[in-house]
Chain A
């Protein structure tokens, strides 16, 4: 070969005003997901919305969070937020948990979206364990982090058979496990990830939300997106979709309720409460507080103002 290429090209030729210029625009921050990744995710999300409850496989990327720590939910959020979005992230209903804080910062730092702890301000709410107490509206999107997307995992291991069961809406094994549960325990004991029938067709795992939150999915005005990063599946419940917890006609679906429990901070009784272990309480044991910390705080503020 002759002299090296660099010696023969004059790199000082200006590109302004030329065609090349149009290609060399100020780059948008690449962020964690490149545009191809986002596009693939959005396609998967779109498919999921078009077939409510169907688990859509997607090319789950490596995220800066460990698998099992919300990588799926994170990918959905990163794919759908833009500069105009306001993001709230909760873990167990708490905005200030370590994981929630880290995820929120990751999203806002790399996408330019703003953050909030107030539901009314958010456009996208990512959650690991709860649906916020405040009612969400049609313009809001709930993104749920899902560890195990397959509702039938407890009754079947074989992937081909699982595929067939969903394809043929053959959920008899699930019904048998509910029957066995009720026979063994007198009640159906599933607490989180309660299986629900979406749009009368597919059964989903509502993991990770507790039974308390399940009825709020039924014909909700908002979109719910479920992301499982490790299992590489996305599913969705579009607005105004029927979501019916699987139960027998004569065994009503029950939500968790402890009679007489009230939040020791804001006095609420009609919210999902969590129990503080006695050693953490000042004097009495079995103190209850609201799981949704932002909601509880706002109630206390409103109470002190009135």
Chain B
């Protein structure tokens, strides 16, 4: 099923894009944790993030562990409750303030207007891969036949062998699970896609196919905000790299520029 997609935006020299096609606008986002059971200790996750992601743009978050990359993604998806700031999704029906939405409304647009693909597959252990991916499509509003077809296409694309399609997900390897997860998360391209290390467990050949799929999404106008530990992947996919440290953005620019600095600082 194809629907008209917005034009891929023009990329400026500094890597930013035209404001009209901005899909996600993060302003002043903060997150701190209070660990009540560890004598009320407070931990700062994000110290104030301003970030825009436009349609057709792939923004990669880089930085060492603990820099706040996953925290940022989770705050946008609302798996974490932001402590302050806003994250606005510009949907076809108007701007949506994600941090202020009621739970039920947020649950309704998750998976539809914006999606999140984590490192790990979380599915019932006794479901087959095709079933998992097809159900993701059905949950997005596809009818069964279309969903099954789209699921088959996605799995083939990611080189998940047909013989595995009916096997219980619990017995799949880590790499197989991750590919199923990616297929499920991208089956119906949302406006905004958040990716949290979606290819970490894949070997080079499978990684290739996965990266191609992700790259295709941006070509079709999806706004992508992703965390990769893999510099190559970042170099290949990102139109802009944003470096984080201690919960702040410390650098932002096109990959050639930014990654050069990061080499040797990777991990």
The answer on direct contact between A and B (beta carbons under 8 Å) is no
A contact set with B: CB distance below 8 Å: none
B contact set with A: CB distance below 8 Å: none
